[in-house]
Copies of this chain bind each other. A is one copy, B any other.
Protein backbone atom coordinates (compact mmCIF):
# COMPACT_ATOMS: atom_id res chain seq x y z
CA UNK A 1 0.00 0.00 0.00
CA UNK A 2 2.72 2.36 0.89
CA UNK A 3 4.35 1.61 -2.40
CA UNK A 4 1.26 2.31 -4.34
CA UNK A 5 0.93 5.62 -2.71
CA UNK A 6 4.49 6.40 -3.44
CA UNK A 7 4.18 5.58 -7.06
CA UNK A 8 1.23 7.87 -7.26
CA UNK A 9 3.13 10.66 -5.64
CA UNK A 10 5.90 10.58 -8.14
CA UNK A 11 3.82 12.08 -10.91
CA UNK A 12 4.72 9.50 -13.57
CA UNK A 13 7.08 11.47 -15.79
CA UNK A 14 6.25 10.44 -19.38
CA UNK A 15 8.19 7.27 -18.84
CA UNK A 16 7.05 5.71 -22.11
CA UNK A 17 9.74 7.27 -24.30
CA UNK A 18 11.24 4.40 -26.27
CA UNK A 19 14.59 5.72 -27.39
CA UNK A 20 15.98 6.58 -24.00
CA UNK A 21 19.46 4.99 -24.14
CA UNK A 22 19.19 3.80 -20.59
CA UNK A 23 22.16 5.76 -19.28
CA UNK A 24 23.82 4.20 -16.34
CA UNK A 25 23.91 7.45 -14.47
CA UNK A 26 20.25 8.05 -14.18
CA UNK A 27 20.46 7.86 -10.45
CA UNK A 28 20.16 11.58 -10.45
CA UNK A 29 16.89 11.53 -12.24
CA UNK A 30 15.41 8.94 -9.98
CA UNK A 31 16.66 10.71 -6.92
CA UNK A 32 14.91 13.94 -7.83
CA UNK A 33 11.65 13.32 -6.02
CA UNK A 34 13.51 12.32 -2.92
CA UNK A 35 15.76 15.32 -3.04
CA UNK A 36 12.83 17.61 -3.57
CA UNK A 37 10.87 16.05 -0.78
CA UNK A 38 13.81 16.31 1.53
CA UNK A 39 14.36 19.95 0.74
CA UNK A 40 10.67 20.63 1.08
CA UNK A 41 10.52 18.90 4.43
CA UNK A 42 13.35 21.04 5.72
CA UNK A 43 11.77 24.23 4.60
CA UNK A 44 8.19 23.46 5.51
CA UNK A 45 9.33 22.47 8.96
CA UNK A 46 11.50 25.52 9.34
CA UNK A 47 9.18 28.16 7.96
CA UNK A 48 5.73 26.67 7.77
CA UNK A 49 3.67 26.08 4.68
CA UNK A 50 2.89 29.62 3.59
CA UNK A 51 6.31 31.06 4.23
CA UNK A 52 8.08 28.37 2.26
CA UNK A 53 8.92 29.54 -1.23
CA UNK A 54 9.11 27.01 -4.01
CA UNK A 55 12.12 28.87 -5.30
CA UNK A 56 13.91 27.94 -2.16
CA UNK A 57 12.79 24.35 -2.23
CA UNK A 58 14.02 23.97 -5.78
CA UNK A 59 17.26 25.71 -5.01
CA UNK A 60 17.93 23.58 -1.98
CA UNK A 61 17.20 20.48 -4.03
CA UNK A 62 19.60 21.74 -6.65
CA UNK A 63 17.07 22.00 -9.45
CA UNK A 64 15.17 24.73 -11.15
CA UNK A 65 11.73 25.75 -10.15
CA UNK A 66 10.31 24.37 -13.35
CA UNK A 67 11.65 20.96 -12.55
CA UNK A 68 9.80 20.90 -9.32
CA UNK A 69 6.61 21.15 -11.28
CA UNK A 70 7.52 18.09 -13.28
CA UNK A 71 7.15 16.08 -10.15
CA UNK A 72 4.46 17.85 -8.17
CA UNK A 73 1.62 19.63 -9.77
CA UNK A 74 1.55 22.39 -7.22
CA UNK A 75 2.63 23.51 -3.82
CA UNK A 76 -0.25 21.82 -2.15
CA UNK A 77 0.57 18.45 -3.65
CA UNK A 78 4.19 18.86 -2.73
CA UNK A 79 3.18 19.54 0.81
CA UNK A 80 0.97 16.50 0.88
CA UNK A 81 3.69 14.38 -0.61
CA UNK A 82 6.11 15.56 2.04
CA UNK A 83 3.77 14.59 4.78
CA UNK A 84 2.71 11.31 3.24
CA UNK A 85 6.14 10.17 2.31
CA UNK A 86 7.63 10.82 5.67
CA UNK A 87 4.79 9.71 7.77
CA UNK A 88 3.73 6.33 6.57
CA UNK A 89 6.98 4.51 7.25
CA UNK A 90 6.93 5.82 10.75
CA UNK A 91 4.22 3.75 12.21
CA UNK A 92 5.21 0.43 10.83
CA UNK A 93 8.32 -0.04 12.81
CA UNK A 94 6.46 0.36 16.05
CA UNK A 95 3.71 -1.95 15.01
CA UNK A 96 6.18 -4.68 14.23
CA UNK A 97 8.00 -4.13 17.48
CA UNK A 98 4.84 -4.47 19.51
CA UNK A 99 3.74 -7.50 17.55
CA UNK A 100 6.89 -9.38 18.25
CA UNK A 101 7.56 -8.31 21.79
CA UNK A 102 7.15 -10.88 24.50
CA UNK A 103 8.25 -9.28 27.74
CA UNK A 104 6.18 -7.39 30.26
CA UNK A 105 4.05 -4.52 29.07
CA UNK A 106 5.89 -1.86 30.99
CA UNK A 107 9.02 -2.78 29.14
CA UNK A 108 7.14 -2.71 25.88
CA UNK A 109 6.02 0.81 26.60
CA UNK A 110 9.56 1.79 27.41
CA UNK A 111 10.81 0.34 24.18
CA UNK A 112 8.17 2.04 22.13
CA UNK A 113 8.90 5.42 23.65
CA UNK A 114 12.57 4.83 23.09
CA UNK A 115 11.87 4.09 19.42
CA UNK A 116 9.74 7.16 18.97
CA UNK A 117 12.46 9.24 20.42
CA UNK A 118 15.11 7.85 18.17
CA UNK A 119 13.15 7.66 14.97
CA UNK A 120 10.85 10.62 15.24
CA UNK A 121 11.10 13.09 18.06
CA UNK A 122 14.83 13.47 17.87
CA UNK A 123 14.59 13.82 14.12
CA UNK A 124 13.53 16.56 11.77
CA UNK A 125 10.47 14.41 11.15
CA UNK A 126 9.03 15.68 14.37
CA UNK A 127 8.47 18.94 12.56
CA UNK A 128 5.64 17.24 10.74
CA UNK A 129 3.61 17.17 13.91
CA UNK A 130 3.76 20.92 14.02
CA UNK A 131 2.95 21.17 10.35
CA UNK A 132 -0.08 18.99 10.60
CA UNK A 133 -1.49 20.86 13.52
CA UNK A 134 -0.75 24.21 11.97
CA UNK A 135 -2.14 23.40 8.56
CA UNK A 136 -4.96 21.08 9.41
CA UNK A 137 -7.41 23.89 8.82
CA UNK A 138 -6.09 24.66 5.38
CA UNK A 139 -5.59 21.05 4.33
CA UNK A 140 -8.43 19.12 5.83
CA UNK A 141 -8.10 16.11 3.56
CA UNK A 142 -4.46 15.90 4.47
CA UNK A 143 -5.30 16.19 8.11
CA UNK A 144 -7.80 13.42 7.69
CA UNK A 145 -5.22 11.30 5.98
CA UNK A 146 -2.72 11.96 8.75
CA UNK A 147 -5.32 11.28 11.36
CA UNK A 148 -6.26 7.96 9.83
CA UNK A 149 -2.86 6.74 8.76
CA UNK A 150 -0.78 7.95 11.64
CA UNK A 151 -2.68 9.02 14.66
CA UNK A 152 -5.29 6.34 14.56
CA UNK A 153 -2.69 3.66 14.01
CA UNK A 154 -0.53 4.98 16.76
CA UNK A 155 -3.52 5.08 19.02
CA UNK A 156 -4.47 1.57 18.05
CA UNK A 157 -0.98 0.46 18.81
CA UNK A 158 -0.99 1.99 22.22
CA UNK A 159 -4.45 0.65 22.85
CA UNK A 160 -3.17 -2.83 22.15
CA UNK A 161 -0.39 -2.28 24.61
CA UNK A 162 -2.83 -1.15 27.24
CA UNK A 163 -5.09 -4.07 26.64
CA UNK A 164 -2.17 -6.43 26.66
CA UNK A 165 -1.12 -5.04 30.02
CA UNK A 166 -4.58 -5.25 31.43
CA UNK A 167 -5.04 -8.77 30.14
CA UNK A 168 -1.78 -9.81 31.73
CA UNK A 169 -2.71 -8.19 34.99
CA UNK A 170 0.12 -5.70 34.76
CA UNK A 171 -2.03 -2.64 34.32
CA UNK A 172 -5.10 -1.71 36.21
CA UNK A 173 -8.34 -1.23 34.40
CA UNK A 174 -8.69 2.05 32.58
CA UNK A 175 -10.86 3.47 29.85
CA UNK A 176 -8.71 2.53 26.94
CA UNK A 177 -9.74 5.05 24.30
CA UNK A 178 -9.29 8.17 26.38
CA UNK A 179 -6.30 6.89 28.27
CA UNK A 180 -4.54 6.24 25.01
CA UNK A 181 -5.16 9.80 23.94
CA UNK A 182 -3.88 11.13 27.22
CA UNK A 183 -0.82 8.96 27.11
CA UNK A 184 0.00 10.08 23.61
CA UNK A 185 -0.19 13.72 24.39
CA UNK A 186 3.18 14.09 26.11
CA UNK A 187 4.94 12.37 23.25
CA UNK A 188 3.41 14.64 20.65
CA UNK A 189 3.95 17.70 22.81
CA UNK A 190 7.60 16.92 23.06
CA UNK A 191 7.79 16.93 19.27
CA UNK A 192 5.95 20.19 19.09
CA UNK A 193 8.00 21.77 21.78
CA UNK A 194 11.27 20.94 20.11
CA UNK A 195 9.97 22.56 16.94
CA UNK A 196 8.66 25.65 18.58
CA UNK A 197 9.71 27.07 21.91
CA UNK A 198 12.91 25.14 22.07
CA UNK A 199 14.08 27.09 19.06
CA UNK A 200 13.51 30.54 20.41
CA UNK A 201 13.68 30.26 24.15
CA UNK A 202 16.52 29.32 26.38
CA UNK A 203 16.50 25.55 26.47
CA UNK A 204 14.21 24.80 29.33
CA UNK A 205 13.24 21.29 28.46
CA UNK A 206 15.50 18.34 29.14
CA UNK A 207 14.15 15.70 26.79
CA UNK A 208 15.65 12.75 28.63
CA UNK A 209 14.30 13.83 31.98
CA UNK A 210 10.99 14.57 30.35
CA UNK A 211 10.71 11.15 28.82
CA UNK A 212 11.81 9.47 32.00
CA UNK A 213 9.20 11.27 34.00
CA UNK A 214 6.67 10.51 31.34
CA UNK A 215 7.26 6.78 31.41
CA UNK A 216 7.52 6.78 35.15
CA UNK A 217 4.29 8.65 35.57
CA UNK A 218 2.47 6.64 32.96
CA UNK A 219 3.49 3.32 34.36
CA UNK A 220 2.77 4.21 37.93
CA UNK A 221 -0.50 5.65 36.80
CA UNK A 222 -1.32 2.41 35.11
CA UNK A 223 0.08 0.11 37.71
CA UNK A 224 -2.17 -2.50 39.18
CA UNK A 225 -2.67 -2.50 42.93
CA UNK A 226 0.60 -2.63 44.63
CA UNK A 227 2.23 -3.34 41.31
CA UNK A 228 4.83 -0.65 40.90
CA UNK A 229 6.95 -0.18 37.89
CA UNK A 230 10.30 -0.90 39.41
CA UNK A 231 12.99 -3.07 38.03
CA UNK A 232 11.90 -6.67 38.42
CA UNK A 233 12.82 -8.21 41.72
CA UNK A 234 12.50 -4.97 43.58
CA UNK A 235 8.76 -5.38 44.05
CA UNK A 236 7.88 -6.34 47.56
Contacts and interface: CB of A to CB of B under 8 A. Distances in A.
Interface of A: 1, 14, 46-51, 130, 132-138, 140-141, 143-144, 147-148, 151-152, 172, 174-175, 177-179, 181-186, 188-190, 192, 195-197, 199-201, 204-206, 209-210, 212-214, 216-218, 220-223, 226
A194 B148 CA distance: 16
| Closest 3 pairs (CB-CB, A-B) | A221-B221, A50-B50, A134-B134
A201 B143 CA distance: 8
Given A48-B138, A220-B220, 14 more contacts: A47-B138, A130-B133, A137-B200, A143-B197, A147-B204, A152-B204, A177-B209, A178-B206, A185-B186, A185-B189, A192-B192, A216-B221, A217-B217, A218-B221
| Copies of this chain present | 4
B218 A136 contact: no
Contacts of A47: 137-138
B133 A217 contact: no
Nearest to A151: B197
B189 A144 contact: no
A199 B137 contact: yes
Given A136-B199, A181-B210, A222 B217 contact: yes
Given A47-B138, A182-B186, A182-B217, A200 B144 contact: yes
Contact of A209 (B137, B175, B196): B175
Contact of A133 (B133, B184, B221): B133
A140 B200 contact: yes
Contact of A182 (B48, B130, B214): B214
A214 B222 CA distance: 11
Contacts of A134: 48, 130, 133-134
A151 B205 CA distance: 12
29 contacts: A47-B137, A47-B138, A48-B50, A48-B135, A48-B137, A48-B138, A130-B133, A130-B134, A133-B133, A133-B134, A133-B192, A134-B134, A136-B196, A137-B196, A137-B200, A140-B199, A140-B200, A143-B196, A147-B197, A147-B201, A147-B204, A175-B212, A175-B213, A178-B210, A179-B217, A182-B213, A184-B189, A189-B189, A220-B222
